[in-house]
Structure 1
Amino acid sequence: MRRFKNILFVCDEQSPYELALDRVRWLARSNEASVTLVDTIDSGGASNLSKLFTTIPGLGNEEIGEAVVSVHRGKLENRAKALRAQGIDVKTNVLIGTPFIEIIRQVSRGRHDLVIKGAHRAAGRPFFPGADMHLLRKCPCPVWVLNAGSEPRSQRIMAAIDPAPQDQTRDTLNRTILKLATSLARNDGAKLDVVNVWRLQEEATLRHGLANIPAADINRLVDQEHQDSKERLRELIADFSEFDDIMRVLHIKGIAADALTEHVSAEGIDTIVMGTLARTGVAGLFIGNTAETILNHVTCSVLTVKADGFVSPVDSGEEGRSN
């Protein structure tokens, strides 16, 4: 999987970073990539970390703030030692501010091409709470959020694609998804399901009695859409025939979000590779709600890829502090 060369690994205490560290170690060695380990201190918007500790007597606020940073930095350095011992180039950084904002700013400053982190999980909370979802929506580079229950290597991967050869942005995104998914599957020794969900828009409306359209005419439209969609899928997959031994291609009729989440559950998928598009005119938003619906209904690891030209709504300013 020789795509990522400059990995940012978020190893905060709120996520299962130990498991994610195994994935980072393997990926860095196989890609000969450099790694930056970061931890985050949520300042709650305060410009000075010492303001968080004004109620603690006995020490100056600055001393307490520096002690906290020092502890975080020391933990990062301890984690970095294991990677460095295996010849991996590792840097460390403590980020202070709103965590997802500072992570995205670090991506911009460091020109990272992948963010890996463990999922924030807690009883009674969704799999992707606010902090993780912000990263998935707004980070300009691919984000890989690892489920605490996953193994360091994937076993069942699903690539969600929507072939559209006439749309260069979407076509490039689909090919990127397939390159990542096939490479990951080959390296992990995993099985890969490439899933394309199709349907005739407004078929149910057309079949309503008030539409007064003969069923035979509607059936012809459905058949035509089926064949057109199948041909688009065939053209896209043809460039990845070398992975036929590990890849199963599925062309499913239905609503994309429903069909994809059902497939994840039924087939025991542990890793999803999927793309996000931003064409709503608001930077950082998924087009429609398919991607967000999927993310809100799965409990597996997810690797999301942005379309070319994506612009993060988070600026790359230096307001946040790093240490």
Structure 2
Amino acid sequence: MNSYKNILVVADVNNVEQSALARAFQIVQDLPDPAPITFFLSIYDFSYDMTSMLSSEERDAMRRGVIQQREEWMKEVAQPYLNDGVEFNIKVVWHHRPYEAIIGEVFSGDHDIVLKATRKHDALESVFFTPTDWHLLRKCPCPVLLVKNHDWPVNGNIIASVHVGSENTTHTALNESMVNQGLKFSKQLNAELFLVNSYPVTPANITVELPEFDPTSYSDAVRGFHLTAMKALRQKYGIDEEHTRVIEGLPEDVIPKTAKEIDAGLVILGTTGRTGLSAVFIGNTAENVIDKINCDVLALKPEGFISPLDPNS
């Protein structure tokens, strides 16, 4: 498996400690040919564009001054993490929408993963004020690693939240992508990979509507189907049965609980991407899981996903 070729790290302007940058250097530290790391920041101040007393040239000069100040700050906060064997670049752009600037840089710089520090969002913010994290989950074409913990557990564990119960080709491709990414990270971070799959609970009202229905037999059949599908997936990649979990319940309940039980340092999720009102009011599984776990989250898009911000689309 090839390692990442071009890593984009989003600077955390609210902290001196840069957990995403620390994670990026941790990922590449033992590689013979580590990927270059770009430390990126999008800034914008409305007042600089609204000052009518200044000419456009003066406003440009002021913006350049602010950008230069931020570049100096980024050099300072990045210093503790730098490794002489890794190519390191700093880039600051003036843009009023950070997520658009980040995705724009992904395309222009040909980055194949984005790392960004995240935090727990309160319920109101998650529903009504979609933060940059959610925009990246929905629209970024490459994997997005949201970093919650500064330190990874020594010899830690990784969860790939696979969906083996579906014959949908999108889910099948996402499963394989998640396993491949999990194996890549487990090798680079000296961690153990676990495949975790949830399957639905038998609907309670079905026994009322169908008196002859046997919920136990149905539940056993569903579990058996998922176990068989999980066996096929794990055997394809040489993963033993002890590193798989097939659990009844919703992913947003099963994944956080399992992550806590095995002390996972990273959870890998597939995210389909959404736009419009459904993206604002209805979070997908990845988004429902993220705030419930206190570890890093790697979100992957399906194969062939086209970002709405793709300049070539």
**TM class, shorter-length:** 0.7 to 0.9
**In structure 2, distance between residues paired with 1:225 and 1:85:** 50
Q: CA, structure 1 residues 131+282, in 2 after alignment: closer, same or farther (shift >3 Å)? A: closer
The answer (yes or no) to whether the contact 2:158–2:265 under 8 Å persists in 1 is yes
The residue aligned with 2:116 is 117
**In structure 2, distance between residues paired with 1:86 and 1:221:** 59
The residue aligned with 1:321 is none
* 1:104 to partner: Cα distance: 0.7
**In structure 1, distance between residues paired with 2:248 and 2:124:** 31
The answer (yes or no) to whether the contact 2:186–2:193 under 8 Å persists in 1 is yes
Q: CA, structure 1 residues 112+152, in 2 after alignment: closer, same or farther (shift >3 Å)? A: farther
| Range that drifts further, 113-122 or 82-91 | 82-91
1:95 maps to 2:104: no
- Counterpart selection for 1:238 from 232, 235, 238: 235
**In structure 2, distance between residues paired with 1:258 and 1:250:** 14
The residue aligned with 2:306 is 311
For each residue in 1:107-150, what CA deviation from the matched residue of structure 2 results, as whole angstroms up to 9, or x when unmatched? Answer: 11111100012224689997997121221221110000111443
| Range that drifts further, 231-240 or 287-296 | 287-296
Q: CA, structure 1 residues 314+10, in 2 after alignment: closer, same or farther (shift >3 Å)? A: same
The residue aligned with 2:10 is 10
**In structure 1, distance between residues paired with 2:24 and 2:2:** 13
Corresponding letter in the other structure for 2:37: V
* 1:156 to partner: Cα distance: 2.6
**In structure 2, distance between residues paired with 1:6 and 1:192:** 24
**In structure 2, distance between residues paired with 1:52 and 1:81:** 35
RMSD: 3.6
Corresponding letter in the other structure for 2:217: R
| Range that drifts further, 266-275 or 171-180 | 266-275
- Counterpart selection for 1:40 from 37, 42, 45: 42
**In structure 2, distance between residues paired with 1:55 and 1:214:** 80
1:252 maps to 2:254: no
The residue aligned with 1:75 is 73
Equivalent pairs counted in the alignment come to 303
For each residue in 1:196-254, what CA deviation from the matched residue of structure 2 results, as whole angstroms up to 9, or x when unmatched? Answer: 11126x532212x2x033243x433322222111111110110222x549x62111011
State, as a whole percentage, how many aligned pairs show the same letter.
Answer: 24
**In structure 1, distance between residues paired with 2:25 and 2:66:** 27
Question: Which blocks of at least 5 consecutive residues in structure 1 are unaligned?
Answer: 318-323
TM-score, normalization by structure 2: 0.81
**In structure 1, distance between residues paired with 2:158 and 2:38:** 26
TM-score, normalization by structure 1: 0.79
**In structure 1, distance between residues paired with 2:115 and 2:25:** 11
Q: CA, structure 1 residues 53+41, in 2 after alignment: closer, same or farther (shift >3 Å)? A: farther
Q: CA, structure 1 residues 52+19, in 2 after alignment: closer, same or farther (shift >3 Å)? A: farther
Corresponding letter in the other structure for 1:3: S
